Structure 1
Amino acid sequence: MYVEELEARIDKLANEIKELQHQKCATQRQLNALRDPVERLPLEISSEIFLQCPFEHDGLGQMGQSKPQMAPLLLLQICRAWTNIASYTPALWARVHMDRPRANILQVWLQRARNHALAVSLRRTLSLDLALVLRRHSEQLTNLYLRLAECNMTHLISDDASWPGLRTFRIGLQFDDEYDKYHRGRLPLAPLRALLCRSESHRIGFGGSLDMGRQ
């Protein structure tokens, strides 16, 4: 038997294995649906059950995580029925914390929240693309928490973003050793590690211990 014939046979068997794996997954999903009592509940009840799923805590309280092993993304991975329930439960997507956020993921997340008031927490970066997503949803945002290594707030300033419902706005500048080594001597206020400004409806903070709101 020639090597080419063996390779062709291996390819054929590999394709058959792949097809069997697809069939197994489809059958498993069907079995999960038959066994799953959640699918037989009215959407209002199953959605309320999903909303009781524990979330991680961040600067704005309990936040949905953009990690696949955390709710609400975890709920999308169980079966098709759970995916449908989670996708059509806007309140699940009304709060989000993202570490190293990506604009396309944030956009889909906030779209799923539909008309709900939004609480958003972002860490490490605020690119122009991310700022554009926030500006598109500025009328829904009530809480915004930015904890960043570098921050260009001009990205958030625009005539098309009025932020009428914003009640809490926190900004934290997060410095690590690598950042300090690179920027040492370039910051005119290098010793400053905290600045917190408060008003009745807005709170703007730069991480650390100095509290200007008490001065």
Structure 2
Amino acid sequence: MSSFNADLRARLAEVNASIAELHLRLKPLEDARKQLQSELDGIVYPVATLPPEITSNIFLRCLPPSPELSSPVKAHPSMFTAPLLFLQVCRMWRNIALSTPRLWVDLHVNLGEFPHEMDEDDLEKCIRDWFGRAGTCPLSFSVRGYMSMDAFGSDAIGAIIRHHAPQLQTICLQLRTAHFEAIEDFTGPFPILEKLAVALPFLDGECPAISQLFSDAPRLSQVSFSENAIPSMFYPSHDTLVKVACESCPADDFLWAVKSHPILAEIACSVEPDPMFVYSHIDVITGSHLHTLHFMPGCSLHILPALRLPALRHLRLSVDIDENNFLAFLAHSSTSLRSFSAESEITTFTVDWFAVMPELTQLELYQQGDYFFLDFFAMLNRAQNPRFLPHLRSLTFRSSTFRSTPLNFKV
């Protein structure tokens, strides 16, 4: 037994000796590590030496670009993109980001991106926390719903709009009727609201009766309506309105928009066909300030004979047209026309049309028949036809084969 104990003690002594030897060999490495760490800790990273104002400005330039008012593609806040990304890098960057109000003025909420366990109070708190960092800056608020959301978010969104109405400069709402009902008795005011977009893709039942919701918006200048939303649902006439966009717009709404807004300058729309519409029974409508007109895909142009646009400078077509109505319209509206763009083939288009567009400086044409271009370039010979489009300076051709890389010419 004593012999066995002696063997164990001998082996333990050998292990202890090996450990002691390894400690001696590790000590220089540990000393070297401490020295390197000390030198590293003494280094000040160049980015950390920037004044907070410079870092703040860099942060602002990292924000994703704001999409068009009516664009359905908007970025939901993410921890992997600005500004939330800056909160995770270091304490200094977090403090700078939280003290830069302009980083937090723009918020797009996609209700489908929130966890299912989140309730109305949590949603409202998230939005309030975000906008709370913006201080007194003007705000841009966009909300997008999803098919099966029911009324989720209606109370929170209603509370946010009521609370931040004095700061809201841009509002984009793509929601259910129930969400509008949560704020239908609210009449503002919206003292700095300039841009408004409304879509009702999940329209369930009657259209929301909230025509007065945005009535007290003295600076409203740009509106966009789509997916079952039409202008007459949501606002009375505004003397400040400059730009209107509307998909599937009833003819009466389109003509009302032109007639009721004295300084309206730009319209992009698709007017719905209306077999009951008889323009001869209504007064001719003059848009004295309207200088830009875009007829979007699916637009019916049966309303053209009712329009007079003496200030029209830019005309863009994304539809085929009826030759007689269109030429009659141009005869009353083309003396000031400077740019004409056709984004689809116009089957009735001929070179003779340019006789009623003599002041054109920019022309963009989609592919037409071969004979059209032969006639067009023959007429463009300045030596033989000096009066054919004498002011034309820019010519662009598009086709199905080079739609993304149009051919551009300087005339």
TM-score, normalising length: structure 2: 0.36
In 2, Cα distance between equivalents of 1:81 and 1:34: 16
In 1, Cα distance between equivalents of 2:153 and 2:244: 16
Would you say how many aligned residue pairs link Structure 1 and Structure 2? 172
In 2, Cα distance between equivalents of 1:33 and 1:110: 38
In the alignment, which residue of structure 2 is the partner of 1:196? Answer: 230
Closer, same or farther: CA 154–188 of 1 in aligned 2, 3 Å: closer
Q: Give per-residue Cα distances to partners, 1:125-162, cap 9 Å, x unaligned.
A: 64212221221111111110011244432433566942
Q: Give per-residue Cα distances to partners, 1:167-187, cap 9 Å, x unaligned.
A: 112111124xxxx9xx6xxx4
Closer, same or farther: CA 158–173 of 1 in aligned 2, 3 Å: closer
In 2, Cα distance between equivalents of 1:114 and 1:41: 24
Residue 113 (str. 1) matches residue 134 (str. 2): yes
In the alignment, which residue of structure 2 is the partner of 1:104? Answer: 125
Correspondent of 1:70 among 68, 81, 100: 81
Residue 40 (str. 1) matches residue 80 (str. 2): no
In the alignment, which residue of structure 1 is the partner of 2:90? Answer: 79
In the alignment, which residue of structure 1 is the partner of 2:62? Answer: 53
In 1, Cα distance between equivalents of 2:56 and 2:206: 51
Closer, same or farther: CA 32–97 of 1 in aligned 2, 3 Å: farther
In 2, Cα distance between equivalents of 1:90 and 1:33: 32
Residue 211 (str. 1) matches residue 211 (str. 2): no
In 2, Cα distance between equivalents of 1:59 and 1:91: 19
CA contact (8 A) 1:33 1:81 kept: no
1:64 Cα deviation from its structure 2 partner: 6.9
Q: Gaps (5+ residues) in structure 2? A: 1-39, 115-122, 146-151, 208-225, 256-411
In the alignment, which residue of structure 2 is the partner of 1:128? Answer: 155
In 1, Cα distance between equivalents of 2:243 and 2:42: 46
Closer, same or farther: CA 55–36 of 1 in aligned 2, 3 Å: farther
Decide which moves more: 115-124 or 54-63: 54-63
Q: RMSD of the alignment, in Å? A: 3.6
Higher relative contact order (CA 8 A, sep 6+): 1
Q: Give per-residue Cα distances to partners, 1:95-137, cap 9 Å, x unaligned.
A: 1111116211110011100010001111116421222122111
Instruction: Choose between structure 1 and 2: higher helix proportion.
Output: 1
Q: Secondary structure at the match of 2:129?
A: helix
Q: Secondary structure at the match of 1:46?
A: helix
Flag the structure with larger Rg: 2
Correspondent of 2:171 among 123, 144, 154: 144
Q: Secondary structure at the match of 1:104?
A: helix
Q: Give per-residue Cα distances to partners, 1:157-215, cap 9 Å, x unaligned.
A: 5669421111112111124xxxx9xx6xxx468xx94333274349898xx83135533
In 1, Cα distance between equivalents of 2:63 and 2:181: 35
Decide which moves more: 50-59 or 128-137: 50-59
Q: Secondary structure at the match of 2:141?
A: strand
CA contact (8 A) 1:66 1:97 kept: yes
CA contact (8 A) 1:135 1:160 kept: no
1:47 Cα deviation from its structure 2 partner: 0.6
CA contact (8 A) 2:154 2:180 kept: no
Identity of aligned residues (%): 27
In 2, Cα distance between equivalents of 1:156 and 1:33: 57
TM-score, normalising length: structure 1: 0.65
1:45 Cα deviation from its structure 2 partner: 1.0
